[in-house]
Structure 1
Amino acid sequence: MNDHDVLPPIGPPVPVAMPPMADVRLGNGLRVIAVRHASTPLTELRLAIPLDTESFAEAAVQEVLTASLLGHSGPGERGPADQGLAASGGMLSASRSARWLGVTGSGPVLPLLLDVLALSLTRPRFTDEVVRAVTVRAQGQVAATRTQPQLIASEALVEHLYGSLPQMQDVPRAADLAAVTPDEVHLAHRRWVRPDQAVLIVVGDLHPARAVEQAERALSGWERAGGTPRQAAQGPLLPHLRNRTIARVPRPGATQTQIRLVRPGLARTDPGFAALTLANIVFGGYFSSRLVAEVRERHGLAYRCESVFRDHLDQLVVAVEADTATEHGSRTLGHLQAQLRRMAEEPPTSAEIEAARRFVTGMTALSTSSQQGWAAGLMLALAGGQQPEHISRILDDFTAVTDDDVAAAAARFFDPDDFHGVVLGENLTPFETETSL
């Protein structure tokens, strides 16, 4: 290699500058955040409405509500607002998780996006025909989704740790969907589709203050419902841990084994979250992590193995996950536990920490280079209890973390004795002790 082949050193990360922004709460309680990011002549729209679920039947009603929300025009017909949005190349789509009803939109004309959104929020059409068609379609989709190993493993984990927990029912059951009526969907719309706990984010080639004015004009007819949302009244939801063990869950006929282990982590607003994030990246958060290098690359045991943060209601957990061949389930679990113990007892090196820091700062720079990235990042921050300005401080947080901070986080949060969960597969053998490295 000659001098011309040597790569230049990587410079310091470029600070994330907060773009021009307006953050206003409207008279009906809706929080509107408008951000100017003129990379393309488009606007990204995100609306998030918190949901609260007390039963599996409610989860099914919320699913039908979400799937019907944008169908305010009758089947086969479009109103002027819909026609204008389609002609401009814009789109809106609705989705649901156990905790949120979300609307995602994109288009070159913000007023058109807002007008169609307003119609969906204030003049829904939950006719017998619409609800019946949506319910039939949803049952077919659910039937296919419920065969996926990832969902089966996720629900088995929740059941083992917490018991019956409708508040974490991302995918409703087909029998519950079949029982949904139009009256229930109307009632659900009045109960949950309300502005006083919702947030609207628009990011694009726009003037922030003017965008807020446009949102206020379009959505002024979206009124608060009576009473107080259950979620707001009861405060943060924290799951009650019922079992502190690792359970075997037989799955006859399964061709893979799924391993799901979790332990409580830190809130995203906690001062120690940046150190925990770097420790997690070193352990299993990216392609160069210890977990990937040992379990997948060295031993070839897992199709997928990683360590991620997941929301269990309002509690963030560290989740260690692996998918492996049926016959390797017990052995893979032993390797996961061994790597956890190594992480707790052998702190990450300076080189590992610096590589993790480079990775997370690079991903931050990538996500803040686009309108979609800003919209998604802002929504994630708000859902985690942070303010929009947090995005501009992310790099400072990671730069300030010391090697000792990461070592302390590794020792505290990666002790294998603190992890509990499930192993799903066919003909599961008794769990082995930790595999030696």
Structure 2
Amino acid sequence: MRKSPPPIHLATIPALLPAERFTLANGLKVVAMGGVDAPVIRAELIWDAGRPFETGKLVSDLTDDLLLEGTDRLTAADLEAYFEQYGTQLDQADVMDTSNLGISTTHRWVGEVLPMMGEIVASSSFTEESFNRLIRQRQQRLRENLSDNDTLAFRLITEATYGTDHPYGYNSYPDLYETLQLDQIRAYYRSHYHAGNATLFLAGQLNDDILKIVEQSFGGLPTGERAVAVDLPTIPKRPRLLQVSRPRAEQSMIRTGRAGIDIRHPDHAALVVLDTIYGGYFGSRLMRNIREEKGLTYGIESEVDTYRFDGDFGVSADVANESLGAVRQEIALEGERLRQDLIEPSELEMVRAYLSGTVANSLDGVFGHAYRHRAAIIKDYEPHGYLQQLSQTILEITPEKIRKVAQRYLDPAGEWEVVLGGGGVIGEAGLIEDPTARLGL
């Protein structure tokens, strides 16, 4: 019988493979990574047309949805049937900073699906009928979503963290859809969904024949000027704790968050390590203390989320109403311990092993490397240097550095907190109206 735990082995994190960069005839930038053994290909157009670039709230989101509602010669149903016959479909990533349209297919069908993808981009119809139908669908779906406590808690913490006028902070409401005009959407499509404002991401088994089809499919798309992001508003000052009381709710949702997380900042890699220790994996402090030892919640986690122009870091937990006070207290206690005490070497080695294994596993194969380049396109950072810094930080970070980063990013004075549910009213909280009250839900 083993009397001591097995030794911890750190996985080797490989260097990021280089991607090929070139342009098509119309100036469309391409980031490509070949070398895949199977005859498959992933093609994705990535426009600088997400929320930081939009000309009005929800304009980017609605343009994305209407892009696939038909072309000058084909209906939405026609398009869906066309791609289904080749065993694939177009997909749109749910990201803040860019608008994305992609497809995965095999060499056998690439000559059929890529030209059709290019046609959709060049001649999307944006009809009044599709626009009105989409507005109605969005309003109905929103009413359904707002009755869900978890969805509402997420919306409230984004508003608290960034402010309701910030691209990363505002949320949709039924009456906001009433302000949208189809002319806005059409104008945004013309000014942002063109080759001059896009990058084409390619990954798979690439050869001259495939690249010729890529040129034929996308090299003739119209071009224009690169979009410039709007001036982001200053994040407003607000009460640190906001609460929505829902007396009939059986649980309470706790969400905390802080803005100012930049993936290009020298602290970011160290923050990834701190997040893992705090609440980022199953062996984290929040999980061990609040879930495993005290049994106060089934799930609790912390998370670092980064965008192109900002990012946030916070905790999420769903707890029984009677445990609300105790869980909030323990979350604060774990943050204080990380700010004051040095992490033990054994705990740090476990986290090193977890992170090195996670990162190495994400780079297992060409597509893993390719998607690192894709993330760098979306968030606009240099991927080779970032991965090198992350790898070095995982292997070399000290307890002293972790404590220093915790003192900066776990300072409760810079943190917003939202509590929603049936727990008792917290004395220091700023009570806010239930957002669903205006909807009659």
Which residue of structure 2 lines up, in the alignment, with residue 77 of structure 1?
Answer: 78
Which residue of structure 2 lines up, in the alignment, with residue 67 of structure 1?
Answer: 65
Which residue of structure 2 lines up, in the alignment, with residue 261 of structure 1?
Answer: 256
User: For residue 419 of structure 2, what is the amino acid of its counterpart?
Assistant: V
Contact 1:307–1:319, Cα closer than 8 Å, also in 2: yes
Shift in Å at residue 279 of structure 1? 1.5
Residue-by-residue CA offset, 1:4-26 (whole Å, 9 max, x unaligned): x9997554423424446212345
Spell out the pairing of 1:366-377 with structure 2 (5 A cutoff): 366-370=361-365, 373-377=368-372
Aligned equivalents of 2:384, 2:61: Cα separation in 1: 33
Identify the match of residue 411 of structure 2 among 403, 412, 415: 415
Contact 2:92–2:102, Cα closer than 8 Å, also in 1: yes
Contact 1:56–1:166, Cα closer than 8 Å, also in 2: no
Which residue of structure 2 lines up, in the alignment, with residue 319 of structure 1?
Answer: 314
Which residue of structure 1 lines up, in the alignment, with residue 47 of structure 2?
Answer: 49
Shift in Å at residue 381 of structure 1? 2.9
TM-score (norm 2): 0.83
Q: Give the direction of change, closer, same or farther, for the CA distance of 1:352–1:178 in structure 2 (3 Å limit).
A: same
Structure 1 unaligned regions, length at least 5: none
Which residue of structure 2 lines up, in the alignment, with residue 205 of structure 1?
Answer: 205
Residue-by-residue CA offset, 1:76-110 (whole Å, 9 max, x unaligned): 4359xx73x43332321224444332223211134
User: For residue 151 of structure 1, what is the amino acid of its counterpart?
Assistant: T
Q: Give the direction of change, closer, same or farther, for the CA distance of 1:348–1:132 in structure 2 (3 Å limit).
A: same
Spell out the pairing of 1:35-46 with structure 2 (5 A cutoff): 35-38=33-36, 40-46=38-44
Shift in Å at residue 244 of structure 1? 5.3
Q: Give the direction of change, closer, same or farther, for the CA distance of 1:431–1:199 in structure 2 (3 Å limit).
A: farther
Contact 2:191–2:224, Cα closer than 8 Å, also in 1: yes
Which residue of structure 1 lines up, in the alignment, with residue 401 of structure 2?
Answer: 405
Aligned equivalents of 1:260, 1:391: Cα separation in 2: 29
Aligned equivalents of 1:194, 1:74: Cα separation in 2: 21
More off after superposition, 390-399 vs 190-199: 390-399
Q: Give the direction of change, closer, same or farther, for the CA distance of 1:77–1:202 in structure 2 (3 Å limit).
A: same
Aligned equivalents of 1:266, 1:163: Cα separation in 2: 16
More off after superposition, 90-99 vs 300-309: 90-99
Aligned equivalents of 2:401, 2:112: Cα separation in 1: 49
Shift in Å at residue 349 of structure 1? 1.8
Aligned equivalents of 1:213, 1:431: Cα separation in 2: 66
More off after superposition, 164-173 vs 276-285: 164-173
Aligned equivalents of 2:382, 2:85: Cα separation in 1: 36
Matched, 1:271 2:257: no
Q: Give the direction of change, closer, same or farther, for the CA distance of 1:357–1:104 in structure 2 (3 Å limit).
A: farther
Which residue of structure 1 lines up, in the alignment, with residue 97 of structure 2?
Answer: 99
Which residue of structure 1 lines up, in the alignment, with residue 28 of structure 2?
Answer: 30
Aligned equivalents of 1:313, 1:395: Cα separation in 2: 21
Q: Give the direction of change, closer, same or farther, for the CA distance of 1:319–1:181 in structure 2 (3 Å limit).
A: same
Q: Give the direction of change, closer, same or farther, for the CA distance of 1:255–1:286 in structure 2 (3 Å limit).
A: same
Residue-by-residue CA offset, 1:34-58 (whole Å, 9 max, x unaligned): 1124154322233332335589993
Shift in Å at residue 337 of structure 1? 0.7
Shift in Å at residue 308 of structure 1? 0.7
Shift in Å at residue 259 of structure 1? 1.5
Secondary structure in 1 aligned to 2:140? Answer: helix
Structure 2 unaligned regions, length at least 5: 430-441
Identify the match of residue 13 of structure 1 among 3, 8, 11: 11
The total of aligned residue pairs comes to 423
Aligned equivalents of 1:384, 1:328: Cα separation in 2: 38
Which residue of structure 2 lines up, in the alignment, with residue 240 of structure 1?
Answer: 235
Contact 1:341–1:416, Cα closer than 8 Å, also in 2: no
Contact 2:158–2:169, Cα closer than 8 Å, also in 1: no
Q: Give the direction of change, closer, same or farther, for the CA distance of 1:278–1:105 in structure 2 (3 Å limit).
A: same
Shift in Å at residue 33 of structure 1? 0.9
Aligned equivalents of 2:52, 2:283: Cα separation in 1: 41
More off after superposition, 117-126 vs 65-74: 65-74
More off after superposition, 349-358 vs 146-155: 146-155
TM-score (norm 1): 0.84
User: For residue 118 of structure 1, what is the amino acid of its counterpart?
Assistant: G
Aligned equivalents of 1:406, 1:172: Cα separation in 2: 38
Spell out the pairing of 1:285-300 with structure 2 (5 A cutoff): 285-300=280-295
Shift in Å at residue 222 of structure 1? 2.4
Contact 2:10–2:357, Cα closer than 8 Å, also in 1: no
Aligned equivalents of 1:253, 1:49: Cα separation in 2: 44
Q: Give the direction of change, closer, same or farther, for the CA distance of 1:30–1:75 in structure 2 (3 Å limit).
A: closer
Contact 2:149–2:421, Cα closer than 8 Å, also in 1: no
Aligned equivalents of 1:169, 1:117: Cα separation in 2: 32
More off after superposition, 295-304 vs 244-253: 244-253
